[in-house]
Structure 1
């Protein structure tokens, strides 16, 4: 099994709200990332989009294709993803499990398709995030845990 590292954590408390970066956070069944509005589970609903993850390598490739590598105006969290991974390829199949730190387990539910909001951030960003799940993955919490930047990430297919 290969492993990677958690390189960033971000959340936003409301739609279109500013992103807040964190060093650590609790991730639960009922909230997803504590304080992130997208993770909350509505009564009677099965969560699909509690946590979003993007690979640092995919973000870098998208910016390079856009002709804006190392652009300080485009840090990873403008993608509005919750977690930034490095040195591990996120699964491209529904049902795979991503383990972060000692306890957190996230089941992949779908690809995180880039939305029109990406065009508001930078012209062409939506298109360069579209191929090969470059926009990341979405998942639901199947085992709660506290996570921190630097934690190990493992994949269970």
Structure 2
């Protein structure tokens, strides 16, 4: 028996997966000038096409899928709660570059987003927590981060971004009809 709301065919699910009308907000920017050192919070940063954030020590290869990392702002409170804290975790402790609110980042895998007026990122995959979370957050830090580690992205087009910039989901690129 089919459920009328969902329909019988996959086109309905495809349509639902593609429906992302919300606009998010860039809440935080961080770079790691030196490996294993604390992140530095910035009000703005230059994003270099097919490279990295200016000032970050990481130098991913051109075409790489992990040129920048993103975290869901709403997950900071969840991780804090899992650790028994009364407040959200500070973004820099999670060691991701960008923190975005108002959009479900997991719904954006394999999609492109625009930050501000210039920057375009392609969301490439999940950014799973590492053992450093146990060092940074204390006992249980790794497990608190499971499912909340964020996403990785490829930098399609660079430019300047600022905290407070809008984050918009771009329409999927469809192959031209032949």
SS of equivalent residue, structure 2 residue 104: coil
Q: How many residues are paired up?
A: 150
Instruction: Please tell me whether residue 8 in structure 1 is matched to residue 28 in structure 2.
Output: yes
Which residue of 103, 107, 116 corresponds with 2:122? 107
Q: 1:30/1:155 Cα in 2 relative to 1: closer, same or farther (>3 Å)? A: closer
SS of equivalent residue, structure 1 residue 81: coil
Q: Provide Cα deviations, 1:80-120, integer angstroms capped at 9, x if missing partner.
A: 11011112211345421121101111111110100000000
TM normalised by structure 1 equals: 0.88
Q: 1:57/1:113 Cα in 2 relative to 1: closer, same or farther (>3 Å)? A: same
Gaps of 5+ in 2: 1-20, 173-178
Q: Provide Cα deviations, 1:11-70, integer angstroms capped at 9, x if missing partner.
A: 0122202211100001012531111122x244xx53121111101111211111211131
Instruction: Please tell me whether residue 79 in structure 1 is matched to residue 94 in structure 2.
Output: yes
SS of equivalent residue, structure 1 residue 54: strand
| Superposition misfits of 4+ residues, deviation over 3 angstroms | 91-94
Which residue of 145, 148, 151 corresponds with 2:162? 148
Verify the 8 A CA contact 1:97 1:105 in the aligned structure 2. yes
* Larger RCO, structures 1/2 (Cα 8 Å, 6+ apart): 1
Partner of 1:128: 144
Partner of 1:66: 83
Gaps of 5+ in 1: none
Which of these two proteins has the greater Rg computed from alpha carbons? 2
TM normalised by structure 2 equals: 0.78
Question: C-alpha separation between the residues in 2 aligned to 1:92 and 1:119?
Answer: 27
